Structure 1
Amino acid sequence: MAFPARPLPEVSMLGTMITAALGAGVAAPAAGLLAHRAVVRAGNARRLRITTSHGVDERYFARIGGLDQWLSVRGEDRANPVVVELHGGPGASHSALAHVSRDWERHVTLVRWDMRGTGKTLRRSGADGQGEVTFARLLRDAVEVVEHVRARLGVRRVVLLGCSFGSALALRLARSRPDLVGAYVGTDQKIFDGGRDLSDHAAVLDRLARAGKRRQLAAVRAMGPDPRAWSAEQFGHFHRAASATDPHTFAAMKSVVLKSLWYSPRHSLREIGTFFRSFQVSSAVLPDTAAFDDRADGTAFDVPFFVVQGACDLVNTPARARAFFDDVRAPVKEFALIEDAGHFAAYRRPGLFLDFLLTRVLPTLDGARQRA
């Protein structure tokens, strides 16, 4: 849940994109910048090609929860295990990260979904056409997506990959529907505790004070420490402050997320604007979650349970994720840290994350039970 919930003004947004994409302090002339973007996008498009005889590369809209929602299905062998990814935010589509996770697709079929209120799904129907944007609706959508994927790819169970906010959805899906899930993997794992632990608020105040961000400090202090009293706008402000004052997360946002979006061969310039608009539309979900309590909901899981966390993550801290993990009862469970990484750890270090999938997660799958 590290992205801003309010869209940046267009000029500021493009300036951030340019700086992040080129790694330069001064923007190049527009014509040269766009020409460079075109060259890099063409290279990324070549890298994304899947040419194997049993591969799959599908991008389409499926009717999920009464709404046309965008899905991507990619992999070099349809016989590989299927991973369904639930992105973070809310509103933070991962569709632009396809080239970052390209090597994963040699070993798994990776399914991405732009949730309602997000990315290509938002662009398809517009903000007023998203229907009910609540956590409960997103969770029902997630179940429908997994059921759709099972039918389309002919599998009984999928590996469920929950990223940040998406891990809150994935956690509940894995707990309640083990018949759909072969293994649970949470990264940037979000844990709700019913508002008992207020340390995140204090930590952000401290980082803002040390950074000399007086105006943001006053705003976060005025919100109070209890998220159960925050509005959607206040949630967005807090998450912006938390991300901007976490050096590892801020670096990953620039070098991985924004850079990937700028150079994505499957995203137009207009879709870059939609990416930021998604946070505003999806922020309506956040007040629903403030009173959630993951321990009260249950720590027993009937599927292999894995958590991969950035060791330096100050947004969803590894300590909080580890404390929950220690209480989990599951057939197999493992907790891993990715060193020198904060939020977006799996995408900051995609090779390490792939190694974890190959050596820890996939061996726990019962092949006979995964295929329909």
Structure 2
Amino acid sequence: MRKLMSAVLALSLFGAPVSAQQPADPYAPAKAIVADVNRIVTPNGVQENLVVTLGGARQAINVRGADRANPILLYVHGGPGAVEMPFAWSFQRPWEDFFTVVQWDQRGAGKSYALNDPKVIAPTMTLDRYRDDAIELIDYLKARYAKRKVFLLGHSWGSAVGLSVAIKRPDLLYAYVGMGQAIDFRAGERMGMDWTIAQARKAGNAEAVKAIEALAPYPASGPFTIDKADGWRRYAIPYGSLMADRPDPTLYFQTPRLSPDYTPEDRKAWGVGSEFSTTTLWPRVADVSFAKVHEMKLPVIMLLGRTDYTVPSPLAAQWMDRLKAPAKKTIWFEHSAHMPMVEEPGLVLKALINDVRPLADQE
């Protein structure tokens, strides 16, 4: 869902390969500054990188928080394969005063890509397996940090994983939080394509209109491939479908170069793992839909960007209008698209503090 940039930008996004002429990590001095600024120094804090085995696959997690007494917030990243761990340093530190935040590189993605044989992992890459990996991870976190429940925030592709967890095991969660929420993959692709065509027509971009229309019969039928998904998103991004006021996100995608938690080798694994994950998994999610889910047994909160047409927010809002749940709330971010956590970070923090965190105290 979020192989967001074409192959021509791969070098600038993932960084040049390390060679004998290059230092091991040319960004090391800047990363040392970031690491020190973001270092957890409180007496009861936690800051650790771990490898856990979930569903038979070794997977990397990062755990950070200023106070172990705070509730856990598990962030389930998008993609498939679009890990958030190397980006988190740029927005997550304020969250860590209120939550113990867990970043998880899913099977086949990021650091986890290098921990397993891709040929062995590929047949296991289904939504159900990712859902069950998340459930195993939650059980692990509960035991390690002595918690009864956790919060789960699913973003983009991760919102399909997260919502699946909330449906199967609501007892594990204080609440489910969706961001860039996927409801129906085929319907979402169709809505995003229609929106992009409309924007292109307004701009007089006949080339874009022709290229997107040529993708038919996708998404209604035919191959459901990442090439088809990227085929229209490459035109949607400059119109603000990914970031509302940042039509060129190239520099944003260089954020991992300064991540204290990612080495040059990890960045290379991120690039290869993203390609592997999207190519393998995208065809398998064509018919995933939550449209017929009308009731949830736990609180549900949606954090939606007003101009998100990467994973169209109107579908999630319509679903929330129909949903029955013990508590529910849709929060709109008027100057955001698919990435509110970096587009309007203060307002996202406000929502997490005011609308999410108190739910742990009501259980």
> TM over 0.5: same fold?
yes
**Pair 1:93–1:243, CA change in 2 (3 A):** farther
Within-5 A mapping of 1:1-372: 1-4=1-4, 8=7, 12-16=9-13, 37-99=27-89, 100-131=91-122, 132-192=124-184, 195=187, 198-207=190-199, 210=203, 212=205, 214=207, 217-218=210-211, 221-238=214-231, 240-241=233-234, 243-247=236-240, 249=242, 251=246, 254=249, 257-283=252-278, 284-296=280-292, 298-366=293-361, 369=363
The residue matched to 2:174 in structure 1 has which SS? strand
**What letter matches 2:131 in structure 1?**
L
Counterpart residue number, 2:18:
none
The residue matched to 2:101 in structure 1 has which SS? strand
CA contact (8 A) 1:5 1:280 kept: no
Once residues 118 and 72 of structure 2 are traced to their aligned partners in structure 1, the CA distance between those partners, rounded to angstroms, is: 31
The residue matched to 1:222 in structure 2 has which SS? coil
Once residues 181 and 126 of structure 1 are traced to their aligned partners in structure 2, the CA distance between those partners, rounded to angstroms, is: 32
**Pair 1:182–1:216, CA change in 2 (3 A):** same
Once residues 329 and 251 of structure 2 are traced to their aligned partners in structure 1, the CA distance between those partners, rounded to angstroms, is: 26
Once residues 13 and 230 of structure 2 are traced to their aligned partners in structure 1, the CA distance between those partners, rounded to angstroms, is: 18
- CA deviations 1:67-104 (Å, max 9, x no partner) are 11111111011100110111001100000123221110
Task: Out of 145-154 and 121-130, give the one that drifted further.
Answer: 121-130
CA contact (8 A) 1:92 1:118 kept: yes
Shift of residue 261, structure 1, vs aligned partner: 0.9
Once residues 337 and 157 of structure 2 are traced to their aligned partners in structure 1, the CA distance between those partners, rounded to angstroms, is: 15
CA contact (8 A) 2:196 2:232 kept: no
Once residues 321 and 111 of structure 1 are traced to their aligned partners in structure 2, the CA distance between those partners, rounded to angstroms, is: 25
Once residues 46 and 355 of structure 1 are traced to their aligned partners in structure 2, the CA distance between those partners, rounded to angstroms, is: 25
- CA deviations 1:130-154 (Å, max 9, x no partner) are 2511222111111111111111111
Structure 1: state its 5+ residue gaps: 19-29
The residue matched to 2:2 in structure 1 has which SS? coil
Counterpart residue number, 1:23:
none
| Superposition TM-score, scaled by structure 2 size | 0.87
**Pair 1:211–1:86, CA change in 2 (3 A):** farther
CA contact (8 A) 1:325 1:335 kept: yes
Shift of residue 253, structure 1, vs aligned partner: 7.4
Structure 2: state its 5+ residue gaps: 16-20
Identical pairs, percent: 26
Once residues 31 and 86 of structure 1 are traced to their aligned partners in structure 2, the CA distance between those partners, rounded to angstroms, is: 34
CA contact (8 A) 1:242 1:314 kept: no
Shift of residue 240, structure 1, vs aligned partner: 4.0
CA contact (8 A) 2:72 2:101 kept: yes
Once residues 334 and 201 of structure 1 are traced to their aligned partners in structure 2, the CA distance between those partners, rounded to angstroms, is: 27
CA contact (8 A) 2:42 2:67 kept: yes
Q: What is the RMSD of the two structures over their aligned residues, measured on CA atoms?
A: 2.8
| Superposition TM-score, scaled by structure 1 size | 0.85
Task: Out of 87-96 and 195-204, give the one that drifted further.
Answer: 195-204
Once residues 247 and 63 of structure 2 are traced to their aligned partners in structure 1, the CA distance between those partners, rounded to angstroms, is: 25
Shift of residue 299, structure 1, vs aligned partner: 2.0
CA contact (8 A) 1:235 1:286 kept: no
Once residues 334 and 196 of structure 1 are traced to their aligned partners in structure 2, the CA distance between those partners, rounded to angstroms, is: 21
The structure carrying a bigger helix percent of its residues is 1
Once residues 57 and 359 of structure 2 are traced to their aligned partners in structure 1, the CA distance between those partners, rounded to angstroms, is: 35
CA contact (8 A) 2:191 2:312 kept: no
